[in-house]
Amino acid sequence: MNAEIITIGDEILIGQIVDTNSQWIGQELNKIGVSVYQISSIQDEKQHILNALKEAENRVDIVILTGGLGPTKDDITKKTIAEYFNDNEFVEYPEVIERIKNLFKKIGHPFNEIQRYQAQLPSKARLLTNQFGTAPGMWFYENGTVFVSLPGVPYEMKGLMSNEVLPRIQEEFKLPFILHKTIMTVGVGETIIAERIEEWENSLPEYIKLAYLPSFGKVRLRISAKGNNKDLLEKEVAKRIVDLNTLISDVIVGYDDDASIEKSVGDLLKKYNKTLSVAESLTGGKIASELVSIPGSSAYFKGGFIAYTAELKKQLLGVSKQVIEEFTVVSKEVAKEMAIGCIKKLKTDYAIGVTGNAGPTTDHNDKSVGLVYIAIAKENSVEVHEFNFGQPREKVINRTVTKALELLSENILKI
């Protein structure tokens, strides 16, 4: 089955909020065997909504809309859907009114008659109970297509999808099995990987697809399989991943939930019972942020310093004034002293020190924008690497984070 997701709201189109609903809905639909054919964002405008519904009905089996179900005049989704289905009769659900009253009572908010509209649904709609808000969801089945309308508030939408929509889709339709496996690689670009695995990729059967998902210093390889025999798909994909690992094991750092360099580094530190600290300049704490995003990171990550200025590099990390004056803050010498200072201060087994020019200016030094120095220190040695990550600023920062963790991983594996 194919589905289309339509998000309704001017706030999405003008960039006031980010549409995270579609991403989550797409993931959950895939888990139960429904393929997402298209995602659209449209205005809170009647004709636009009507056109979107008609176009979606002609190309998919399930249409899921989010947004526009509030009680105010700018929320027109419910009336527009009713018009689309030529449904002029609205039914009031007393249980919804009672739920709204109880919800408002808990938060000390008086029930307003305008809220009564929330409990009125088109007669052709099946009520989807919203346990977390005032606007119920609606399920229509017309002309062989399912239409589901949900509130746009993420936690309300997720509750309705999990408790009402997904179980109902699984109950009413025979669905195939869709399997996704993700392999995270670092250190090389997608073209190099493609060259190395070309023969392997060409041998994939029609029901298994490979997608390259590159980002800063990383490439995720997503293997997708679709069919009716779950056991067969799982066995075949597992076999293909084993074959893939023999070709690019040197750049693979994780699989699925473990498919991140920060998770891989954390696993290595735990495996060898080692600790880590960081001294950051241009990355402004992003290396530390990535590390602590992994549950259980307190077992190996002890902390760090954001020494953004020359003065703080001297005060916090003991970088010498002479070194800064002779080589500037963007130098291998300063990166080295930052890492050494971090190990001494926090008494860890490893430390990362990074300094560089993220841009767009060079901050009173003669080094080019994009130039970065990364130091990896341990008890008796320090290695410093120089890179030029070019522009723009975001790319420089993100590639620095990835490369620093990659270099640390390589250093730990030398044990």
- How confident is the model over 52-74, as pLDDT tens digits? 999 999 999 999 999 988 777 77
Residue 277 structural domain: 261-412
Q: What is the 3-state secondary structure (H, E, C) of 143-187?
A: CCEEEEEECCCHHHHHHHHHHHHHHHHHHHCCCCEEEEEEEEEEC
Matching residue, tokens 């709201």: 9
Residues 48 and 189 in one domain: no
Instruction: Check which CATH number belongs to the domain holding 286 and give it.
Output: 3.90.950.20
Over residues 361-367, the mean pLDDT reads 68
- Which residues lie closer than 8 Å to 410 by C-beta, 6 or more apart? none
Residues 68 and 150 in one domain: yes
The residue from 157, 172, 187 where one domain ends is 172
Percent of the residues in the chain that have a pLDDT greater than 70, as a whole number: 97
Q: How confident is the model at residue 363 (pLDDT cuts 50, 70, 90)?
A: low
**Cα of 318 vs its chain's centroid, Å:** 38
SS3 label, residue 333: helix
- How confident is the model over 83-130, as pLDDT tens digits? 999 999 999 999 999 988 888 888 888 888 788 888 999 999 999 999
Residues 22 and 159 in one domain: yes
Q: How many domains does the chain have?
A: 3
Residues 30 and 147 in one domain: yes
- How confident is the model over 140-162, as pLDDT tens digits? 999 899 999 999 999 999 999 99
- How confident is the model over 370-406, as pLDDT tens digits? 999 999 999 889 999 999 998 899 989 999 999 999 9
- How confident is the model over 215-263, as pLDDT tens digits? 877 899 999 999 999 899 999 999 999 999 999 998 888 888 666 889 9
Residues 254 and 279 in one domain: no
